[in-house]
Amino acid sequence: MKKLLKRSLLAGLILIVCLFGAASTWFYVQVHEGIKPPEAVELPIPKGASLVKVSNLLAQHDIISSPKIFRLYARLRGLAGQLRSGYYRFEDKADMQQVLARLVRGDVVSFHVTVPEGLRTDEVLLQLSEKTGLPLNVWQESLHMLLPDDAEGRLLPETYQYTKPLDPKSLLSAMIAAQTVLLTQLADTHDEQQKLRIMASIIEKETALADERPIVAAVIRNRLEKHMPLQMDPTVIYGIWKTRETFSGNIHKQDLMQDTPWNTYTRRGLPPSPIGNPGAASLRAAAHPADVDYLYFVADGRGGHVFATTLAEHQANVRAWVRIERQRDRNP
């Protein structure tokens, strides 16, 4: 009788071991079976989502085969509470171990947004809204929280990386900080830095050519030193927009005489604020003008400018430009 009992216990133990082994093998296979979604899946994992919700989302989008197995595996690994929220993209074949590792690392999709140089701050916010999908008022409110006073010229146009869900304050803070770092390298005091912002914003509007920026900066410097009015059209345009909140796009002779704080035909010195957000190259040019004595420049009809030291030289350059424009009108 005792022998029979021992044999029964031994058989039962062997059966349990076999069942456990089979279950372990099955569990191992389930965890390490790679699955490739039918098509690329971009899946937002909400902040604070539970393991149950995350596993169900993964299963619903054919990223894993079993939410229960995924939850059990995450708990056995001690990682159930370490899944990070964010915007994930799944397109390659992966097993549960790899999927779990991505969620723990926070291996989310990175996005990029490029802000062109020279835009006014309202135009920058509009572009950010259009490119990211966040409403314009969200961007406006976020910037106001960071810069409650005039924010013109305080953002550095560059390409910025972000993840979803996007925090607009974080991206705007990065744009502000990037400019602050650069200006700290170029000037010591707040007043000097603001002067560079204003000069650079004018340079940005006057030329898009890299080799001309330091020369335009020199013209601004030279005219300021001689107490000459800058007489730069982009400042007039900005002043009209600032006071009317609109501008037709075409500047006329009477516009040059419409006095605003930014009109450098009617007022001497720099405008009271930047007229846009200058890029790094224009800021550097403003800090390091070329060693030339030019006081004037006009378009050369080929996308650049010709510079002059005397008014007579400048007037000759203007006549040449007028001839080019007339010839272009005759032969469009």
pLDDT in tens, 259-277: 999 999 999 999 999 999 9
pLDDT of 235: 96
H helix or E strand, kind and range, residue 239? helix 233-244
Query: Mean pLDDT across the stretch 35-46?
Result: 89
Give percent of the chain with pLDDT exceeding 90. Answer: 70
Q: Which fold has domain 30-105?
A: Dna Ligase; domain 1 (3.30.1490)
The model's pTM is: 0.81
- Range with the largest mean pLDDT of 44-48, 185-189, 245-249: 185-189
> pLDDT tens digit string along 146-198?
999 889 999 999 999 998 889 999 999 999 999 999 999 999 999 999 999 99
- Angstrom distance (rounded) from CA 138 to CA 162: 16
- CA angle 238-244-246, nearest 5°? 70
Closest-CA residue to 199 (of 261, 297, 286): 286
CA distances from 202 to 169, 231, 238, 255 (A): 27, 11, 10, 18
Whether the CB-CB separation of 64 and 100 falls below 8 Å is answered with no
> pLDDT tens digit string along 126-155?
999 999 999 999 999 999 999 998 899 999
> pLDDT tens digit string along 99-130?
999 999 999 998 999 999 999 999 999 999 99
**Residue 59, φ and ψ in degrees, nearest 5:** -70, -40
Closest-CA residue to 198 (of 119, 263, 277): 277
User: Given a cut of 70, is residue 18 above it in pLDDT?
Assistant: no
Query: Mean pLDDT across the stretch 29-43?
Result: 84
Whether the CB-CB separation of 180 and 186 falls below 8 Å is answered with no
Dihedral class, residue 253 (left if φ above 0, else alpha if ψ from -120 to 50, else beta): alpha
User: Given a cut of 60, is residue 50 above it in pLDDT?
Assistant: yes
Half-sphere exposure of 40 (CA within 13 A, CB side): 4
Q: Domain extents for the chain?
A: 30-105, 121-294
pLDDT of 25: 63
CA distances from 93 to 35, 54, 84, 90, 269 (A): 5, 19, 21, 8, 64
pLDDT of 251: 82
Task: Answer with the residue of higher pLDDT: 27 or 41.
Answer: 41
> pLDDT tens digit string along 217-241?
999 999 999 999 999 999 999 999 9
Dihedral class, residue 299 (left if φ above 0, else alpha if ψ from -120 to 50, else beta): beta
pLDDT of 189: 96
CA distances from 230 to 118, 161, 174, 203, 236 (A): 19, 38, 33, 12, 11
pLDDT of 283: 98
What contacts 330, CB < 8 A, 6 or more positions away? none
Closest-CA residue to 134 (of 157, 111, 108): 111
